[in-house]
Structure 1
Amino acid sequence: MSPAAPRLPALLEALGQRAPRGMVLGLDRVREALAALGDPHAGLAAVHVAGTNGKGSVCAMVESIAREAGLRTGLYTSPHLSRFAERIRIGGEMIGDAALEAALSAALERVPSPLTFFEALTVAAFVAFRDAGVDLAILEVGLGGRLDATNVIAAPLCTAITSIAFDHEALLGPTLADIAREKAGILKPGAPAVLGPLDPEADAAIEAAAQTVGAGPRVRVARAERGGRAGEIAVGRAGPRATRVAGPARSAIEVELGLRGAHQAENAGVACGVAWQLAGRWPELERALPAGLAAARWPGRLERLDAGGAQVLLDCAHNPHGAQALAAWLDEEGPGAARTSLVFGAMADKGWGEMLQMLAPRAQRRFYVTPQGRAAAPLEALREVAPGEPIGDPGAAVARAIEGAAPGGLVVVTGSIYLVGEVRSALLGIAPDPVVTL
């Protein structure tokens, strides 16, 4: 903590004390708080991104492109891996202590009603972006879309929905159409929308919502090795490592993405679609696309770290859709099951059985752990899905996996964002803030 922020520890403690209230969906409290602070979000040039998976990657790509174009950016994402401050970034860097103190002081002390943890950080982000004078704010939805605290943005320059898959069904609904309708709540009158590859049921629900609200033009991302149809952004391979993105009436871009995994091609297509929509206001975004995509980074997503002579791969796959993407990467770029160890732990309310069924065959040695946060999947239940060693403590499991790693082997840590955050903090020597599953 810098000397300029003496009250920050107390404010962070007060923020953490709000976490047990959990996620309380709704916009009234946030609107009331923002009004008391002079509506710092009003007039903010913003991109709003929802989706089951991929929304954080798309936000990171869009932010990187915008910075490459010379814009002063604000990025708001959740959850954090190590520090609360990761959630609010200015110009590509975690918010500084003094700025975070000022923003949290406003959100926690100058509003009429107590906000939840996520609501308070959302309000703090808007205050920070106003105070920093950002040119463009990129906002990641926390949960769903329609009732998420970030949805107080009334007139985004562009919206995006990256993917629709089963997750948080208890809150968002039991069908893909239900989930899609909740995420389509971010669509706004006149604002263009970029849609990642979607199941037809989800696409139809989003299209219906777009027509009802009077959203701007919709552009869809699709896999195609050459050009796409009208209104489509075509993504495909341009070589062993390069990705090709071609948009309607746009020159194709070929670039080696900064983010690993074949699934990032679709995310890059969404990010390009957003940038193309914004290029009417900032033409320099066109030039910045290749360098911005190449420079994008998103910690904990197919992230490799050296640890005691072994390679550790951290991936925040926390639902079956994410596990499928990780499994595809392991098939294509991993060292093979015989040289792969898996450290797996998941929240009990996730599809951990399906996830483990996909990942277990790709690792000969498996260690099961209990992540911090909400109730975790029982270790013995994980063993029933696939044989493995129940260790519980993630640090001990990673140490065992590293110790027994074969030459050229890989230790994969996955199943929960909170597990990845805990392990990443330990490997990098970061003193973490408390785990908050919001």
Structure 2
Amino acid sequence: MTKLGHIFNELCSRTDYEQCRRPRAARFSLQSMTAMMSALGDPHLQVPAIHVAGSKGKGSVAYYLSWALQQSGKNVGLYTSPHLTDWRERVQINSEFASDDDLCVAMQAVLDVASDDATFFDLLTATAFQLFAQQQLDCMIIETGLGGRFDSTNVLQPLAAVITALELEHTDVLGDTLVEIAKEKGGVYKSNTQLWCAASIESEAKLVLHQIANSLGDELRIGPRGELTAPELPKFAASNRALAVAVLESLGGDYFVAAHLLRVAMLSDLNIPGRFELRYTSAGRAVVFDVAHSEQSLTETLRCFRAMFKDGERAVLMALRDDKDAESLGVALVEVADIDGYAESWYCCPAGSHPRSARADKIAPAFNAEVLTVVDFPEGDQPLLVTGSTYLVGALRNKTISSTDVQAIRS
């Protein structure tokens, strides 16, 4: 095992709430993170940051911001979670994995000052801050893990704090209503920071965010409703891109240049892994990967998948976490208009090896789906949508090749 592997295993020995159920948000604390940051010399304050929270779209907005700033000539750190296939996806510099040596230095520095109660996510977040400071980057884009108020990333004093679309999710941790969830997400708002939220946020939840902004002596800035449309992409993808553009434009200066580059970018330039991503099997079967896992996201993803492949039959492979309501999701997806008269073949399987994966035979009846006992593509050559779980997407994505690679092979 490499030196990096040994050090990473030390992180993995800590409590990991991605792999088990979490307590209510009120039981979390930023004490471990604050202590680590102080002991390390406050690396989180050494690089200008944009902080992104939300129920859905936060990863996409973070990627858009990072891409645009990188195209404008800045050296950019990007911290996201979870990963699809390799944990190093979470901590990137200029869209590339950091070197093993640089990661080792940053991780060891963090472990040297970490308390015994620091979690896996605490340690990896601290590693990202330490690495980005070591590399003296121009800016960093930081995505929250869960919630906002007590999220490990919430030690920042960012240039802008952005909250993307909200949905009822992780209600066992964040609360049972959109208002409660907005209070938790709104914890990322700080004074002397531009405070943004997506236009799609429900009015009562948006009022909560307004109140938080007012208490900080600032105004809440509302993102556009998505004039950067593209018919082949889900509506929320256009809204996410428009929100990222608005944030960069408002920051002005060099950030305005980045906003222009993002506004005029071709869709092919903005391919985000696992976000309505078209790839192909070695046999030429088209596979769309999307990490959508909420009712609205899944509904819109299915609508776009049907629009992309209007002619002929299609298939859908679904996995869910064990905290998802398969019954209500099944009802919602059945109600999505079948635009061309062809029905999909539906399949359910486990979400990779994740311990929180719902049993396929338990969720399959909600979708009238065939059960697959192993994580693999169902038989057939019809276009396939793989969705419902980040871990399912990650397990199967590496068995395919990109559309760019297909074009290269054919030429």
Match of 1:380 among 361, 364, 377: 361
Q: How many residues align?
A: 385
C-alpha displacement at 1:53, in angstroms?
Answer: 0.3
| 1:281-306 Cα shifts (integer Å, max 9, x gaps) | 54433442335574223201111111
Aligned to 1:312: 287
Aligned to 2:93: 90
Q: Which amino acid aligns with 1:173?
A: G
Aligned to 1:190: 192
Q: Compared with structure 1, are the counterparts of its residues 293 and 213 closer, same or farther at alpha carbon in structure 2 (3 Å cutoff)?
A: farther
Match of 1:289 among 253, 262, 280: 262
Q: Compared with structure 1, are the counterparts of its residues 319 and 330 closer, same or farther at alpha carbon in structure 2 (3 Å cutoff)?
A: same
C-alpha displacement at 1:324, in angstroms?
Answer: 2.0
1:276-425 equivalent positions in 2, closer than 5 A: 276-280=249-253, 282-291=255-264, 294=267, 295-307=269-281, 308-335=283-310, 339-359=313-333, 363-371=343-351, 372-395=353-376, 398=377, 401=378, 403-405=379-381, 409-425=382-398
C-alpha displacement at 1:20, in angstroms?
Answer: 4.6
C-alpha displacement at 1:59, in angstroms?
Answer: 0.5
C-alpha displacement at 1:423, in angstroms?
Answer: 1.1
How far apart are the structure 2 equivalents of 1:222 and 1:70?
A: 26
Q: Compared with structure 1, are the counterparts of its residues 176 and 20 closer, same or farther at alpha carbon in structure 2 (3 Å cutoff)?
A: closer
Q: Which amino acid aligns with 2:330?
A: L
1:261 aligns with 2:234: yes
Q: Secondary structure at the match of 1:151?
A: coil
How far apart are the structure 2 equivalents of 1:113 and 1:64?
A: 36
Aligned to 2:183: 181
How far apart are the structure 2 equivalents of 1:36 and 1:169?
A: 34
Aligned to 2:81: 78
How far apart are the structure 2 equivalents of 1:109 and 1:322?
A: 41
| Structure 2: 5+ residue stretches without partners | 403-411
How far apart are the structure 1 equivalents of 2:59 and 2:328?
A: 23
Bigger drift between 123-132 and 88-97 goes to: 88-97
Match of 1:62 among 62, 65, 86: 65
Verify the 8 A CA contact 2:69 2:255 in the aligned structure 1. no
Aligned to 1:7: 3
| Structure 1: 5+ residue stretches without partners | 224-233, 242-259, 430-438
Bigger drift between 94-103 and 347-356 goes to: 347-356
Q: Which amino acid aligns with 1:270?
A: L
1:81-160 equivalent positions in 2, closer than 5 A: 81-153=84-156, 155-160=157-162
Bigger drift between 364-373 and 78-87 goes to: 364-373
Q: Compared with structure 1, are the counterparts of its residues 311 and 131 closer, same or farther at alpha carbon in structure 2 (3 Å cutoff)?
A: same
C-alpha displacement at 1:157, in angstroms?
Answer: 0.5
How far apart are the structure 1 equivalents of 2:123 and 2:223?
A: 34
1:274 aligns with 2:264: no
Verify the 8 A CA contact 1:316 1:415 in the aligned structure 2. yes
Aligned to 1:436: none
TM-score computed with the length of structure 2 as normaliser: 0.87
1:187-226 equivalent positions in 2, closer than 5 A: 187-196=189-198, 197-215=200-218, 217-223=219-225
| 1:124-183 Cα shifts (integer Å, max 9, x gaps) | 000110011111110001100010000000x21111111111100111111110001110
Q: Secondary structure at the match of 2:253?
A: coil
Bigger drift between 38-47 and 60-69 goes to: 38-47
How far apart are the structure 2 equivalents of 1:221 and 1:208?
A: 17
How far apart are the structure 1 equivalents of 2:33 and 2:285?
A: 46
| 1:389-411 Cα shifts (integer Å, max 9, x gaps) | 1112112xx1xx2x322xxx311
How far apart are the structure 2 equivalents of 1:351 and 1:375?
A: 14
Q: Compared with structure 1, are the counterparts of its residues 340 and 177 closer, same or farther at alpha carbon in structure 2 (3 Å cutoff)?
A: same
How far apart are the structure 1 equivalents of 2:227 and 2:13?
A: 44
Q: Secondary structure at the match of 2:141?
A: strand
How far apart are the structure 1 equivalents of 2:178 and 2:83?
A: 27
How far apart are the structure 2 equivalents of 1:146 and 1:176?
A: 15
Verify the 8 A CA contact 2:60 2:272 in the aligned structure 1. yes
Verify the 8 A CA contact 2:280 2:401 in the aligned structure 1. no
How far apart are the structure 2 equivalents of 1:11 and 1:428?
A: 31
Verify the 8 A CA contact 2:32 2:114 in the aligned structure 1. no
How far apart are the structure 2 equivalents of 1:185 and 1:413?
A: 33
Verify the 8 A CA contact 2:315 2:385 in the aligned structure 1. yes
C-alpha displacement at 1:44, in angstroms?
Answer: 2.3
C-alpha displacement at 1:240, in angstroms?
Answer: 5.4
Verify the 8 A CA contact 1:66 1:292 in the aligned structure 2. no
TM-score computed with the length of structure 1 as normaliser: 0.82
Q: Secondary structure at the match of 2:358?
A: coil
C-alpha displacement at 1:17, in angstroms?
Answer: 2.0
Q: Which amino acid aligns with 1:386?
A: F
Q: Secondary structure at the match of 2:398?
A: helix
How far apart are the structure 2 equivalents of 1:358 and 1:394?
A: 25
Q: Secondary structure at the match of 2:44?
A: coil
How far apart are the structure 2 equivalents of 1:66 and 1:296?
A: 13
How far apart are the structure 2 equivalents of 1:19 and 1:367?
A: 33
Verify the 8 A CA contact 1:67 1:292 in the aligned structure 2. no
Q: Compared with structure 1, are the counterparts of its residues 222 and 281 closer, same or farther at alpha carbon in structure 2 (3 Å cutoff)?
A: closer
